[in-house]
Amino acid sequence: MQTPLSTTPFGRRPMTLGMISRQLAAKAKPEAAIVHKWHVFQHIKEARQVLGATDRALTILHALLSFHPEIALEADSELIVWPSNEQLMARANGMPPTTLRRHLAVLVDCGLIIRRDSPNGKRFARKGQGGQIEQAYGFDLAPMVARAEEYKTLAATVQAEKKAFRVAKERLTILRRDIVKMIEAGLEESVPGNWKRFQQVYQAIAGRIPRTAPRQLLESIGGEMEALWREIRELLETFAKTQNLDGNESHSGCHIQNSNPDLSSESERGSAKRGEAGGTAAADHNLRSLPKRELPLGIVLDACPNMRWLIKGGEIRHWKDLLAAAELARPMLGISPSAWREARDVLGDQQAAITLAAIHQKADQISSAGGYLRSLTDRAKGGKFSVWPMVMALLRGKLDGAKPTPPGGGTARFEPGKPAHASAELRASLARRPK
């Protein structure tokens, strides 16, 4: 075949230095080079983002390769294909003409193919007397032979980058899971340590993870997470070495001391029982005399307005909203996950949420919220506890002009000496309360 003379695009498409450099690269292919066209296409697919190719452009490239009759692309063979736009659209799953032209230009700009336009812009081949092609005008696939090794290297680099990204993401996920579970274990097992600081550091690091992050950022954050992980792990391992545990990992009555000043010990059941309002005898009497119906949500919120401050917008309209607020209040009160889980199992989700709301409302009067909750849970197991006395006591204090203490020292809604507003439902409920 005669070497094609056409090097400039037909029509209004301009000639650029980039086209000239890509044509030079195509001419620099080894004379004896032979490549498998579908292997090269696979490498181009893997490196498409680096090359700047689009998915639609690769669909067209796949169609162009299908017009070449041989599987192997040889440097000294005919590498120009000349399908019409209608044929290309048919093999490109019915792609619209405007889309076809736009993505053909993308293939040319990426240097994956070269235009060999005829004088009138048509694509065709001129054959000689023996049937051999003398001149062809269309798309030259020579760059796929000339740059085959480059595409292979780019594909390997992209695969290595994807693997490194996946490893960094998996490492960060495992570190986050381990840290959360180790903090919960430290709180539940009463391991001495500043667990509140660990939680704050973890939340600060995790809060900097964007929705989509590059590998370098994931590795940097993973390094910070690993440093926190090592600190917590060493603390737990040091504490575990000092304990005399049975072979089945059950506690053998060893003394566990909690040195964290921010978290109160939940083992002080006696002090929690002494902090219950009304005394045991009075509470038992109220328990027997109170009605057997459930407390309305409105009355609970009247008695425990501090729970509204935990929800964005202060809207608690359903019991599930109160339970969500209780989940937020639990770590603030220093109540361990096991104590909260036991309370929910014994009291039920609704009654447990009411109980925690009452504890949160009078948190300044309770030295150990976790111990108090465990004590109430133990009494509920024997049928000696109801949420009614706690809520009614809070309501009486509110109606008497008591000033609730908001978390963090905020301004209360009620002032001493001024009558507090109470809903009609609340006043009706108090009027029905047995003397």
User: How do beta strands 80-81 and 133-140 pair?
Assistant: antiparallel
* Cβ–Cβ < 8 Å for 99, 54: no
- Spatial distance between the Cα atoms of 36 and 213, rounded to a whole number of angstroms: 36
Residue among 19, 234, 194, 237 at smallest CA distance from 116: 19
Q: What confidence score (pLDDT) does residue 398 get?
A: 75
State whether residue 410 is helix, strand or coil. coil
Mean pLDDT, consecutive 10-residue stretches, the chain (435 aa), reads 53 59 59 83 92 91 90 81 90 89 89 83 77 80 88 93 93 93 88 89 91 90 94 89 54 41 39 41 46 74 86 81 89 89 91 92 86 90 85 81 46 40 53 49
- Spatial distance between the Cα atoms of 20 and 30, rounded to a whole number of angstroms: 19
- Spatial distance between the Cα atoms of 347 and 340, rounded to a whole number of angstroms: 10
Q: What confidence score (pLDDT) does residue 392 get?
A: 86
Residue among 391, 343, 393, 339 at smallest CA distance from 188: 339
Residues paired with 242 in a beta bridge: none
Specify the pTM: 0.47
Q: What confidence score (pLDDT) does residue 28 get?
A: 58
Architecture of domain 17-146 in this structure: Orthogonal Bundle (1.10)
